[in-house]
Copies of this chain bind each other. A is one copy, B any other.
């Protein structure tokens, strides 16, 4: 979608002109991360759209599958994992129940609690989305050798550890 966007190199050069204390190496990494993610989200959005769902709904499906059998979670936990407010989760689940992707039931043992469960249709959507996503991801990484992929994964994991500490 961004068309007149400057190239990464142009962007870094411009920042250096405007802000002297800039480490171009750091800026390259950070800007590339940001751009990559935006592009990837657009690509995922196009894919999920072909399946008739949104990225937002896909994330709920992912969380439920991640929870493992029997694919059930409370709205509050879902909200925490996706970084949403409980209110947003309520609405999102409303839509997904209407579409038959998940079920919403009261917990029998504690009637304050609600349990969101994946339907077969929801699980199938996740599988379909996974199929598309892995194809895209393999495509994205096609220029990197196995060794380079290993290095990249390791470096990113280290960054992630650093940032997931100070949560």
Q: In chain B, what residue has the closest Cβ to A158? A: B143
Tell me how many chains of this kind the complex includes. Answer: 2
Q: Mark A3-17, 1 if CB is under 8 A from B, else 0.
A: 111101001001101
Secondary structure of the A contact surface, majority rule? helix
Q: How many residues of A contact B (CB 8 A)?
A: 68
The segment from A89-97, A98-106, A148-156 found at the interface with B is: A148-156
**Interface: A120 (CB within 8 A):** no
What separation, in Å, do the CA atoms of A11 and B65 have in the docked complex? 10
* Chain B residue contacts of A68, Cβ below 8 A: 14, 17-18
**Contact (Cβ within 8 A) B151 A151:** yes
Q: Across the interface, do A11 and B66 meet the contact criterion of CB distance under 8 Å?
A: yes
